[in-house]
Amino acid sequence: MVRVADEAQLESNKLNIDDIAGKLSEEGRTPYQNSFMQECEYMNILIRTITSSLADIELAFKGELTMTETMENLMNAIALNRIPATWDKYGFTSQRGLGSWLDNLKARLDQLNAWKDDPINIPKVTFLNRLFNPQSFLAAIK
């Protein structure tokens, strides 16, 4: 089970959309940059979903919340190395186990973090398998 410190670390990984948008001029914004901004929004929704569900479980263990069926399903999925349905809903299509899925999530976050530091410049390499919506990216670069 993920501890509170890990949840805080996950929460700190959220991408500051306003900060990134501030680095981009509205007139000079390219389809590539729009595509990556969408990827950042998808990532933030997924991170928010993961952190809030884990925080709820921790509160339920402390007796501050009533354990729900959704929480039990989440704990069972984690115990069975499966992607919880609530996370899968906002995540990316994958047949991986939970551990591998989380590793892939980190790789996706690393790619977005590398871009957000200098969003004006287009990276020389973009891993399509690390995007939530690769078709949008491919359409943007055509």
CA distances from 68 to 25, 71, 73, 81, 106 (A): 46, 5, 9, 20, 28
Between helix 98-116 and helix 31-62 the angle, nearest 10°, is 130
Closest by CA to 117, choosing from 29, 11, 45, 24, is 24
Residue 54's pLDDT is 92
Residue 15's pLDDT is 85
CATH of residue 99's domain is: 1.20.1270
**Cα angle 105, 108, 49; round to 5:** 45
Do the domain assignments include residue 50? yes
pLDDT tens string, the chain, 142 residues long: the values are 444 445 555 556 688 888 888 888 766 688 888 899 999 999 999 999 999 999 999 999 999 989 999 999 999 999 999 999 999 999 888 889 999 999 999 999 999 999 888 888 888 888 988 999 889 889 988 8
Answer yes or no: pTM beyond 0.85.
no
The pair phi, psi for residue 96, each rounded to 5°, is -70, 160
Domain interval for residue 75: 30-141
Do the domain assignments include residue 25? no
Number of domains in the chain: 1
DSSP state of 7: H
